[in-house]
């Protein structure tokens, strides 16, 4: 009786386009809100809580430490448990978003919540991508996976719009985070609606034996898989990993502090920071189909190299132009490039050794998270007491150009690797 009631309340969704849209919503919640709403609300958080630039940088970096941990956790989630783990960590992401409404929290509690939010973002992003893409048929995968990844841009845009709307009404960051959490709640219902159908019953002793092996041999199996994944590809993978660390370092230096820079420089424009952040989100939504089409014509590696140079150029715009042009130009280029760079790089990792693509993608996410952790810390250290972010942007641009050189080197590897890219 209860099962029949649940089936009427939560119908099963099997349409591929609908699943891709639910994946987009999931990405918007766990990435757009769970990670990037902090950027949109950071100027207000700093004012309301009287935070220094250094503390703000640490709050950003602690979230990226969590993202690093989340990527580690995702590596060890069994394939059969993907939906369960994805749903659990998506719920945790929503809860940590809503917890920031609690008044007068200690700084320690802020660090803990942002750490857990980062873990939830890392796990849910990787597993939702895995779940959605595996659900899609091969002939529709390229188009609908772009819909799924567009959720990052949708979430960034939503974070800017919600923050602007509520600040204009006289509310502050606490209410903004509460509204973000409440508007994320339907995701739980939708994730349940795409729960995989139960396969036919298998002998319980066989299931117990498999689970027993997975517990006791996880470490051994991981070591073996890691060795087989990198065997024969050490140099190419090393070059790609280091370039991806630098990509994470480069983009986050701007992505964390762009609204703060706008508040500093465009003092006569009350909501300039949020308008600029909205530009990032809009261009991020457009980027994946655009660069995906280009990659089909010239290949992922050439597209990635072009995006890397373009992003480095964008980092220099606020240095060369102190006013609105530099900031809006940086925002547009940041939105256009960072999602595309992630997509292209992960495709390259997958192509190097397709048999171990999940493991390599998870390791790549760790590399990206490492760069994201270091970026805000270096940026605030270089900003000093004056809070001038130009030095940090310059270092980010230099790091991206070093990454470009590594990509050129990567492309010139063995003929076998060249054919893959």
Domain ranges of the chain: 15-195, 230-421
Q: What percent of the chain has pLDDT over 70?
A: 88
What is the pLDDT at residue 398?
Answer: 96
384: left (phi over 0), alpha (psi -120 to 50) or beta: left
Report the range of poorest mean pLDDT among 32-41, 110-119, 284-293. 284-293
Higher-confidence residue of 411 and 312: namely 312
| Mean pLDDT calculated for residue range 184-189 | 94
Q: How far apart are CA 222 and CA 226, in angstroms?
A: 6
Neighbouring C-alpha atoms within 13 Å toward the C-beta of 154: 18
Alpha helix ranges (H) inside 321-356 = 324-352
Grade residue 206 by pLDDT with cuts at 50, 70 and 90: very low
Complete DSSP assignment for 92-147: HHHHHHHHTTSTT--HHHHHHHHHHHHHHHHHHHHHHHHHHHHHS-HHHHHHHHHH
Query: Both tokens of residue 393?
Result: 């942007």
Are the folds of 15-195 and 230-421 the same?
yes
Q: Which of 11-15, 28-32, 268-272 has the highest mean pLDDT?
A: 28-32
pTM score of the predicted model: 0.81
> Which residues have CB under 8 Å from 412's CB, separation 6+?
418
Instruction: Write down the pLDDT at residue 416.
Output: 52
pLDDT digits (tens, 9 = 90+) for 15-29: 888 998 999 999 999
Q: Is the pLDDT assigned to residue 162 strictly greater than 90?
A: yes
The answer to whether residues 166 and 40 touch, using CB atoms and an 8 Å cutoff, is no
Looking at residue 253, what is its pLDDT? 84
1 — pLDDT class (breaks 50, 70, 90): very low
Q: Which CATH number fits domain 230-421: 1.20.1250.20, 3.10.20.30, 1.10.3720.10, 2.30.42.10?
A: 1.20.1250.20
Is residue 298 classed exposed, middle or buried when 0-12, 13-18 and 19+ CB atoms within 10 A define those classes? Answer: exposed
Rounded to whole angstroms, the Cα distance separating 309 from 415 reads 25
DSSP 32: I
Q: What is the mean pLDDT of the chain?
A: 84
pLDDT over 60 at 82, yes or no: yes
Conformation bin of residue 232: beta by default, left when phi > 0, alpha when psi is -120 to 50? left
Provide φ and ψ at 69, rounded to 5°: -65, -40
Q: Which CATH superfamily is domain 15-195 in?
A: MFS general substrate transporter like domains (1.20.1250.20)
Q: What is the mean pLDDT of residues 232-248?
A: 90
Position 207 scores a pLDDT of: 43
Mean pLDDT of 320-332: 93
Let me know if 236 is exposed, middle or buried by CB neighbors in 10 A (0-12, 13-18, 19+).
buried
205 has pLDDT over 50 = no
Q: How confident is the model at residue 176 (pLDDT cuts 50, 70, 90)?
A: very high
Distances (CA, A) of 309 to 364, 404, 409: 20, 7, 15
Residue 343 CA to residue 402 CA, distance in Å, equals 20
CB 327 within 8 A of CB 263: no
Nearest to 28 by CA among 358, 333, 279, 284: 284
Q: How many CA atoms lie within 13 A of 373 on its CB side?
A: 18
């Amino acid at each position: 009786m209860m099962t029949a009631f649940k089936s009427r309340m939560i119908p099963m969704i099997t349409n591929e386009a609908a699943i891709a849209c639910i994946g987009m919503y999931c990405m918007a919640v766990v990435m757009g809100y769970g990670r990037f709403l902090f950027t949109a609300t950071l100027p207000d958080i700093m004012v309301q809580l009287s935070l220094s630039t250094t503390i703000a940088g640490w709050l950003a970096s602690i979230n990226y430490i969590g993202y690093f941990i989340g990527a580690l956790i995702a590596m060890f989630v069994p394939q059969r448990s993907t939906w369960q783990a994805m749903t659990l960590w998506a719920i945790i992401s929503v809860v940590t978003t809503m917890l920031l409404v609690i008044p007068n929290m200690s700084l320690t509690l802020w660090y803990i919540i942002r750490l857990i939010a980062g873990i939830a973002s890392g796990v849910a992003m990787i597993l939702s991508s895995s779940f959605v893409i595996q659900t899609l048929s091969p002939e529709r995968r390229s188009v609908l996976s772009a819909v799924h990844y567009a959720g990052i841009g949708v979430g960034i845009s939503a974070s800017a719009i919600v923050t602007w709307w509520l600040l204009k009404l006289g509310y502050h960051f606490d209410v903004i985070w509460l509204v973000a959490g409440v508007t994320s709640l339907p995701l739980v219902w939708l994730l349940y609606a795409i729960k995989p159908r139960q396969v036919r019953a298998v002998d319980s002793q066989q299931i117990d034996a498999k689970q027993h092996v997975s517990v006791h041999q996880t470490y051994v199996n991981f070591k073996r898989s890691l060795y087989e994944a990198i065997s024969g590809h050490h140099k190419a993978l090393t070059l790609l990993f280091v370039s991806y660390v630098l990509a994470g370092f480069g983009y986050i230096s701007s992505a964390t502090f762009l609204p703060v820079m706008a508040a500093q420089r465009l003092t006569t424009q009350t909501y300039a920071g949020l308008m600029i952040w909205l530009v990032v989100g809009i261009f991020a939504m457009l980027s994946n189909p655009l660069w995906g089409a280009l990659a089909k014509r010239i290949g992922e590696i050439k597209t990635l190299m072009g995006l890397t140079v373009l992003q480095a150029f964008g980092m220099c715009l606020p240095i060369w132009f102190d006013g609105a042009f530099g900031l809006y130009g940086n925002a547009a280029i940041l939105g256009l490039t960072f999602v595309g760079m992630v997509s292209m790089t992960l495709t390259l990792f997958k192509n190097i050794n397709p048999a171990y693509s999940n493991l390599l993608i998870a390791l790549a996410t760790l590399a990206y998270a490492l760069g994201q952790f270091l970026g805000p810390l270096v940026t605030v250290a270089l900003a000093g007491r004056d809070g001038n972010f130009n030095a940090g942007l310059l270092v980010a641009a230099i790091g991206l150009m070093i990454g470009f050189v590594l990509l050129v080197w990567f492309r010139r590897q063995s003929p076998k690797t060249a054919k893959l890219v």
